[in-house]
Structure 1
Amino acid sequence: MSNSYQLHQGSVPLLISMPHNGQEIPQDIASRMTSAAMEVPDTDWYIDRLYDFARAMGAYILMPRYNRYVIDLNRDPKGVNLYPGANSTELCPTTAFDLSDIYLAGQQPDEQEIAGRVEKYWQPYHQAIDNTLQELKKTYGKAVLLEAHSILSHVPRFFEGQLPDFNFGNGDGISCDAELLAQVQALDYSPYTMVTNGRFKGGFITRHYGQPASNIHALQLELSQITYMNEPSDQYNEEKAAQVKEKLKMLVQCLINFSRC
């Protein structure tokens, strides 16, 4: 446990990381942000609520306290763009998904402040990921990491048109065993659409920690928020969520089964 994240201890070799689930902004940062940014519109809304069933299934669950506007936990700390040539937000974002400014004029973080945020917020979360995966591997001989994300179905900054519902990524094959991906792809996601390694191939966490040769397998799911929310608002839709949860339960069980074999 840390004051910057929560780690639920599980009983199976599956860790579900939710790096964009946090909503808080420290006051010293909030005082320099725009009123629109204070609403943290680019949050992966309700991911903890959507995966609440996973605790009873034995999964370890890791969630940050603070919002991605403080620091993006799924970015390379050196600021490397994982999608060369594509429009992407920074390690410490200065613009929202709609390209509006996050900070008041002249109030963006400088290099020294960004380094401080890496140490204070980024490092503890990643240490928790690494420690947990190593513990699971030592105990069970294998570890599986599910990177749980969500995003609006329409974000022109990042992709054209409407995003598929289930967007899986394993870094074009590098972060998990091909058999695991095949089992995930073989599940029945209907009536939802599904794609693998499309616009979202897995962020820094998936690509960095997924080491299938060492029996650590990582997979990212970017879920379209239209499957469980009343877009374009941030309202949770119970009926929609109940339906998509059945598919998520199926996915989590698949990952658990793989982790045990």
Structure 2
Amino acid sequence: MIEDAFSDHPPFEIRQPATQTVPFVFNSPHSGRVYPDAFLSNSRLDRHSIRRSEDYYVDQLFDASPQIGAPLLAAHFPRAFIDVNREPYELDPRMFEGRIPPFVNSNSMRVAGGLGTIPKLVAENMEIYRKRFAIEDALERIDRLYRPYHDRLRRLMVKTHARFGYGVLVDCHSMPASAQSGNKNRPDFVIGDRYGTSATEALSQLAVSILQDLGYTVSRNKPYAGGFITEHYGRPARGLHAIQIEINRGLYVNEQTFEKTEGFEELRADLIRFMSLVTDYFASDFSDVALAAE
């Protein structure tokens, strides 16, 4: 049961400011570190290896967002258990026993890659499960975790839009320091806006410029343009904007031991500066950059 698995820890939490003073919501959907025992017992991976799909400590990197007047929604359940940055029913029928509901999307690229709503793999193509398990267990995860998580995120965005006339979602992630193919080093940050469809040019470019001014290398939309959350919540014509921020793990964590490095505190301080600058700018100048719905 989901309730038993998270009896000592809520599956997710909202860290709220005393008063929301800026039209921003920060979201960390992949930094969860609470692994249910029953899940681990059905996994072929040990407690260390299964963590390789985590966005290590991203919730902690952005945990100062309430201090600047913006809420932070953070998952405690791990991405390997259920991935809320997918459609609700992107499922691989080969993983489950029992009748698959007809509304399941089993043909998506993400399912084909083993990274559906209930992932088959963690990073480096390591299979999670020892054997098939009941489709009812997968559907329970969606009902008990996925849907409540998105319900809270949706409410945060609706509340923000109602209060300020527009809202900005910053979806916070981390990426491996190098690509698997060719071991090519990646930039320090990637800002994704679904190639201009989930946010205005002004918002995306400002995020890039601030990070560059802080001394970081920044790419836009390559290799990450944003996932389901960015695509689903970004509706610029309605005054709802969403960008994804990917952080190079080499800046702050040892990817073999998952321990924070000396760069963690410096990066966290720079991200506080980033959050302050981007929220201050749009809080005072949104009319000039047309974030509000037309």
TM-score, normalised by the number of residues in structure 2: 0.79
The CA distance in 2 between the partners of 1:125 and 1:259, in whole Å, is: 27
Identity, % of aligned positions: 25
The CA distance in 2 between the partners of 1:65 and 1:232, in whole Å, is: 21
On the 8 A contact 1:170/1:220 being kept in 2, the answer is yes
How much does 1:220 deviate?
0.4
The CA distance in 2 between the partners of 1:144 and 1:259, in whole Å, is: 10
On the 8 A contact 2:166/2:239 being kept in 1, the answer is yes
The CA distance in 2 between the partners of 1:82 and 1:134, in whole Å, is: 29
How much does 1:58 deviate?
1.5
Q: Which has the higher contact order (CA 8 A, sep 6+)?
A: 1
The answer to whether the aligner puts 1:96 opposite 2:103 as a matched pair is: no
The CA distance in 1 between the partners of 2:222 and 2:171, in whole Å, is: 16
Give the 5 Å matches for 1:77-156. 77-79=88-90, 87=113, 89-104=115-130, 106=131, 108-156=132-180
On the 8 A contact 1:72/1:90 being kept in 2, the answer is yes
On the 8 A contact 2:211/2:274 being kept in 1, the answer is no
**Which protein is richer in helix relative to its size?**
2
Amino acid at match of 1:7: I
Structure 1 range deviating more: 205-214 or 46-55: 46-55
Cα deviation code 1:3-35 (max 9, x no counterpart): 321011232221110000111122332221124
Q: Alignment partner for residue 34 of structure 1, among 44, 55, 59? A: 44
Cα deviation code 1:174-210 (max 9, x no counterpart): 1111111121222252542110000110111111001
How much does 1:228 deviate?
0.9
Corresponding residue SS for 2:169 = strand
The CA distance in 2 between the partners of 1:33 and 1:78, in whole Å, is: 21
On the 8 A contact 2:226/2:243 being kept in 1, the answer is yes
The answer to whether the aligner puts 1:242 opposite 2:265 as a matched pair is: yes
Amino acid at match of 2:29: P
On the 8 A contact 2:114/2:120 being kept in 1, the answer is no
The CA distance in 2 between the partners of 1:175 and 1:86, in whole Å, is: 25
How much does 1:233 deviate?
2.5
- The 3 A distance-change label for structure 1 pair 37 and 199 is farther
Match of 2:224? 200
Corresponding residue SS for 2:64 = helix
How much does 1:69 deviate?
1.1
Q: Which runs of 5+ in 1 are unaligned?
A: none
The CA distance in 1 between the partners of 2:28 and 2:223, in whole Å, is: 19
How much does 1:60 deviate?
0.2
Match of 2:93? none
Corresponding residue SS for 2:72 = strand
Q: Alignment partner for residue 65 of structure 2, among 51, 54, 63? A: 54
Match of 1:44? 55
Amino acid at match of 2:126: S
Match of 2:193? 170
Q: Which runs of 5+ in 2 are unaligned?
A: 1-8, 91-104, 287-294
- The 3 A distance-change label for structure 1 pair 156 and 45 is same
How much does 1:253 deviate?
2.1
Q: Alignment partner for residue 276 of structure 2, among 247, 253, 257? A: 253
How much does 1:36 deviate?
2.2
Corresponding residue SS for 1:217 = strand
The answer to whether the aligner puts 1:217 opposite 2:256 as a matched pair is: no
Corresponding residue SS for 2:244 = strand
Matched length = 256
The CA distance in 1 between the partners of 2:218 and 2:111, in whole Å, is: 24
The answer to whether the aligner puts 1:76 opposite 2:83 as a matched pair is: no
Match of 1:22? 32
Amino acid at match of 1:90: G
TM-score, normalised by the number of residues in structure 1: 0.88
The CA distance in 2 between the partners of 1:54 and 1:179, in whole Å, is: 21
- The 3 A distance-change label for structure 1 pair 155 and 82 is farther
RMSD: 2.5
How much does 1:128 deviate?
0.5
Determine which structure has more spread, i.e. the larger CA radius of gyration: 2
On the 8 A contact 1:144/1:255 being kept in 2, the answer is no
